[in-house]
């Protein structure tokens, strides 16, 4: 009996240890895992792709840095996208990488209409940013901005997308922008706005700087950035379609846009469009405002043929118009 009692105590001890282990395991597995703040990982991934862009101008016989902005590496060949206003008027442009190395850059092309420019450096081991489609973003989505805010390099701010298609007008250009409440300050221009996967959804461009206004910054959508970069790398500039006609809204009861003037031997003239015609459709889209024509043309390459619908007096007409390329110094044109 004594022997059995000893074995009984032993087995009870083993059972107790197993039961205790099971209870500890249950407690551990039910403990919630800490939530990982995604911004830290985004910054580590993206930081090598963000650069400082210096705008140097002549002061007497010497160069001095007159402006500083940001840029984003887009390929391993050394191409960097930044804002046009960051490099505008520069005598020379210099790039400083995240490792502190400094390189002289060459301007490949500029596009004031979108406030974008592409510059190029010769540097080893560059890490390009990955793109995401800005068409898929939603208000409320978490975003991260990185740039050289007020000269403080690689400053990180976070916020949300406030709106995804704000139309702004500046210097006669129409801009379609992402609005964000992530802090955007001087020096952030040309830097990336990214999602929580570290993918580019926009290039930071501007903010509203007025007393009492906070949290309203803007970025150029990545779909625009990708298109402009590809155009500049291929042609050295952005090829935009041109119809060669001056258009004017005719009021609420007008059938479309009034053709005020036609450029001699331009695309509209060659298609048979006359001053006094009413343009009612282009590319199958009804138009009553000039910006509606512009939106159709934005997705169409020069050289493409589009169908236009007109009213000439009471007579409806359909013509085929071969789009030209917007001249460098266009005259008598709306788009």
Active site members = 85, 115, 189
- Distance between CA atoms of 15 and 23, rounded to whole angstroms? 12
Q: Give the phi and the psi of residue 87 in degrees, each rounded to 5.
A: -105, -5
- Distance between CA atoms of 264 and 248, rounded to whole angstroms? 18
Strand, helix or coil for residue 25 = helix
Tokens at 196, concatenated: 């929580």
- CA distances to 194, 219, 225 from 180, rounded to whole Å, are 11, 8, 17
For residue 70, the number of C-alpha atoms closer than 13 Å in the C-beta half-sphere is 34
**Beta carbons within 8 Å of 56's beta carbon, 6+ residues apart:** 63, 64, 65, 66, 90, 91, 92, 93, 94
- CA distances to 50, 70, 126, 150, 239 from 187, rounded to whole Å, are 12, 6, 22, 5, 29
Q: Among candidates 166, 158, 301, which has minimal Cα distance to 221? A: 166
| Torsion sign across C-alpha atoms 234, 169, 201, 138 | negative
- State the residue for tokens 């597995």: 29
Q: Give the phi and the psi of residue 139 in degrees, each rounded to 5.
A: -55, 140
């Amino acid at each position: 009996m004594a022997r059995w009692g000893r074995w009984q105590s032993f087995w009870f001890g083993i059972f107790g240890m197993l039961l205790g282990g099971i209870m500890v395991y249950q407690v551990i597995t039910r403990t919630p895992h800490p939530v990982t703040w995604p911004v830290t990982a985004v910054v580590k991934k993206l930081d090598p792709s963000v650069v400082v862009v210096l705008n140097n101008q002549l002061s007497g016989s010497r160069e001095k840095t007159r402006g500083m902005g940001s840029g984003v590496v887009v390929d391993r060949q050394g191409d960097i996208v930044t804002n046009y206003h960051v490099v505008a008027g520069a005598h020379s442009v210099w790039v400083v990488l995240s490792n502190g190395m400094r390189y002289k850059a060459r301007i490949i092309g500029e596009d004031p209409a979108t406030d974008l420019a592409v510059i190029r450096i010769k540097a080893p081991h560059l890490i390009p940013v990955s793109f995401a489609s800005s068409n898929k973003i939603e208000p409320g989505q978490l975003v991260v901005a990185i740039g050289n805010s007020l000269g403080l390099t690689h400053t990180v701010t976070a916020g949300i997308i406030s709106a995804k298609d704000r139309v702004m007008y500046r210097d006669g250009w129409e801009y379609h922008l992402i609005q964000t409440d992530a802090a955007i300050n001087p020096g952030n221009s040309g830097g990336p706005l990214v999602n929580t996967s570290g993918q580019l959804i926009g290039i930071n461009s501007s903010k509203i700087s007025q007393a009492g206004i906070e949290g309203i910054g803007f970025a150029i959508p990545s779909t625009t950035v990708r298109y402009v970069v590809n155009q500049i790398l291929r042609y050295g500039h952005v090829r935009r379609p041109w119809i060669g006609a001056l258009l004017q809204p005719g009021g609420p009861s007008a059938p479309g846009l009034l053709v005020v003037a036609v450029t001699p031997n331009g695309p509209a003239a060659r298609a048979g469009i006359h001053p006094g015609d009413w343009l009612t459709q282009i590319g199958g889209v009804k138009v009553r405002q000039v910006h509606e024509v512009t939106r159709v043309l934005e997705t169409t390459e020069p050289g493409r043929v589009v169908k236009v619908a007109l009213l000439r007096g009471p007579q409806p007409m359909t013509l085929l118009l071969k789009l030209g390329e917007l001249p460098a110094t266009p005259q008598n044109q709306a788009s």
